[in-house]
Amino acid sequence: MRFNNQCLNIKLQNNDMNRKNFIKKSILGAAGVATGNSLLKAEKAQPKKSTYDSMMEQVGFNHLPEDAGITSKNNKGMKTVLHKAETRGHANHGWLDTHHTFSFARYYNPERMNFGVLRVLNDDTVTGGRGFGKHPHDNMEIISIPLEGDLEHQDSMGNATVIKQGDVQVMSAGTGVFHSEKNKNTDKVVRFLQIWMFPNKQNVTPRYDQISLKDSNLKNQFFQILSPNSADEGVWSHQNAWFSMGNLEKDFTSTYAIKNKANGVYAFVLEGTVNIAGQNLNKRDGFGVWNTDMITITANSDAKVLLMDVPMQG
């Protein structure tokens, strides 16, 4: 996804916003919304700052403001944060219609910066034949999950591939990589999630992987699509994170055990309505849970849910 490495400094004027390194000095500048040679020329004229450094300047590693979490009535000590779908950042550029769960590009909310190492959760719709031109990243784990249509990917590692619904793609930017993404089709849209995580190791050799999920049509269970282990199910990343997808039928109830005591879970509802840890959620709502070992999930209707089990500190 297009990223402009020049940050826009924001001076916070509200004295009661004590964030303890939650926000340091700057906010990510406008992410690119155009393709072509003029874009690259503009980049060359500006000072470079790495993807990782720019993102870290904004958030430090406190995942939430001190007062953001609430204690569940049913789970002593468990904390949660709710992000309703309609509260996300939104931009419509004609060819790109995008929603940002966390601050990104021109959307800035100091209480919506990240959830642990989960830094970006963008819900993108791209019109036929359009896309993001070649642009750089480094030291970031980038996961793409198509929801509809065909997404064409090319990168400086020599990969030229297409991913579609039922696939998942991961790219470890490491020491640096250029890539582009576009809608392969001219007659229909492509919809996909793009997710960025801070890595647990910097300056690794860039790598790319994609798989087709053999369990994508299974009902009433969560199947793993990402983990830290290259021999495990799904793709792997340089982070102690586990992603799972569930296609749930109405009234199905299950529990999810958080993989690591240092982790929390961020749930994103792709379709339908569910109840997680006592909170009712609708389509495209996001819900973070931490300070607990397990959560209960009930489908209020047929539903599809993505669970992102991530470290809460770097």
Q: Is 54's pLDDT higher than 90?
A: no
Which residues fall within 8 angstroms of residue 132, CB to CB, at 6 or more apart? 1, 2, 32, 35, 180, 181, 182
Number of domains in the chain: 1
Q: Which H or E element spans position 37?
A: helix 37-44
Angstrom distance (rounded) from CA 83 to CA 281: 10
Looking at the chain, the whole-number percentage of residues with pLDDT higher than 70 is 76
Identify whether 1 is part of a domain: no
The CA-atom distances, in angstroms, between 74 and each of 77, 181, 258, 291, 295 are 9, 44, 17, 13, 11
Backbone angles phi, psi at 44, to 5 degrees: -65, -25
Q: Please give the DSSP secondary-structure letter assigned to residue 80.
A: E
Q: Is 26's pLDDT higher than 90?
A: no
Q: Is 115's pLDDT higher than 50?
A: yes
In three-state secondary structure terms, 122 is: strand
- Pairing relationship of beta strands 222-227 and 235-236 according to DSSP bridges: parallel
Q: Is 20's pLDDT higher than 60?
A: no
**Tokens encoding 157:** 């590692």
pTM: 0.81
**Looking at residue 21, what is its pLDDT?**
39
Q: pLDDT for 124-135, tens place per residue?
A: 999 999 999 999
Identify whether 136 is part of a domain: yes
Identify whether 3 is part of a domain: no
- CATH code of 106's domain: 2.60.120.10
Give the 3-state DSSP-derived string for 273-307, with helices as H, strands as E and coil as C. Answer: CEEECCEEECCCCEEEEECCCEEEEEECCCEEEEE
**Tokens encoding 185:** 């089709």
- Taking a C-beta distance cutoff of 8 angstroms, is the pair 275, 252 a contact? no
State the pLDDT confidence band at 294, using cuts at 50, 70 and 90: very high
Count the Cβ atoms, other than its own, within 10 Å of residue 212.
11
**Looking at residue 216, what is its pLDDT?**
75
Angstrom distance (rounded) from CA 63 to CA 116: 5
Q: pLDDT for 226-249, tens place per residue?
A: 999 999 999 999 999 999 999 999
Domain of residue 89, residue span? 8-311
Q: What is the mean pLDDT of residues 255-276?
A: 98
Identify whether 104 is part of a domain: yes
Identify whether 2 is part of a domain: no
Identify whether 49 is part of a domain: yes
Q: 108 burial class (0-12, 13-18, 19+ CB within 10 angstroms)?
A: middle
Q: Which of 32-41, 80-89, 276-285 bottoms out in mean pLDDT, i.e. has the lowest?
A: 32-41
State the pLDDT confidence band at 48, using cuts at 50, 70 and 90: low
Q: pLDDT for 197-229, tens place per residue?
A: 999 999 999 999 999 987 778 899 999 999 999
Q: Please give the DSSP secondary-structure letter assigned to residue 216.
A: T
